[in-house]
C-alpha cells in the first residue's frame, strides 16, 4: 500500500467516525453504533498492518542490508516494543 492509498483509507475512516458522531447525536440504536465502531476498528487495523508491512519492507530491510548492527538492533527493538504495547 502506498501513501496515497493509505491517506484515502484514513479519509474514509475519518468519514466513518463523523458518521458515528451523527448516529450518537441522532440517538440511533446502540447496536448499530457499535457495529460501525467495529468497522472503524477493523479499518484502522488494516491500515496499521499495511504501515507495519511497509516499515519492514523499507526501514528494517534497509537496516539489514546496511550491515550496521546498531541500526539493525534499533529497528528490531522498535518492532519488539511495538508488539509489547499491542499485547498490553
Is 59 exposed, middle or buried, given 0-12, 13-18 or 19+ CB atoms closer than 10 A? middle
What pLDDT sits at residue 7? 96
* DSSP-assigned states of every residue in 51-62: HHHHHIIIIIHH
What pLDDT sits at residue 21? 98
Instruction: State in words which class domain 3-87 has.
Output: mainly alpha
Q: What is the mean pLDDT of residues 58-82?
A: 92
- In the chain, what are the domain boundaries? 3-87
Q: What is the DSSP letter of 28?
A: -
Assigned C-alpha cell, 85? 504495547
CA–CA gap between residue 16 and residue 40 (Å, rounded) = 7
Scanning the chain, the segments in alpha helix (DSSP H) are 3-25, 30-55, 61-66, 69-87
pLDDT in tens, 8-58: 999 999 999 999 999 999 999 999 999 999 999 999 999 999 999 999 999
pLDDT in tens, 52-67: 999 999 999 999 999 9
Amino acid at each position: 500500500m502506498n501513501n496515497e492509498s493509505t491517506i484515502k483509507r484514513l479519509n474514509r475512516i475519518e468519514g466513518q467516525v463523523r458518521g458515528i458522531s451523527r448516529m450518537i447525536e441522532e440517538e440511533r440504536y446502540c447496536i448499530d453504533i457499535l457495529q460501525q465502531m467495529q468497522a472503524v476498528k477493523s479499518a484502522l487495523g488494516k491500515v496499521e498492518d499495511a504501515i507495519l508491512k511497509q516499515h519492514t519492507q523499507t526501514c528494517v530491510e534497509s537496516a539489514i542490508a546496511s550491515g550496521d548492527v546498531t541500526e539493525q538492533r534499533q529497528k528490531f527493538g522498535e518492532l519488539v516494543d511495538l508488539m509489547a504495547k499491542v499485547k498490553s
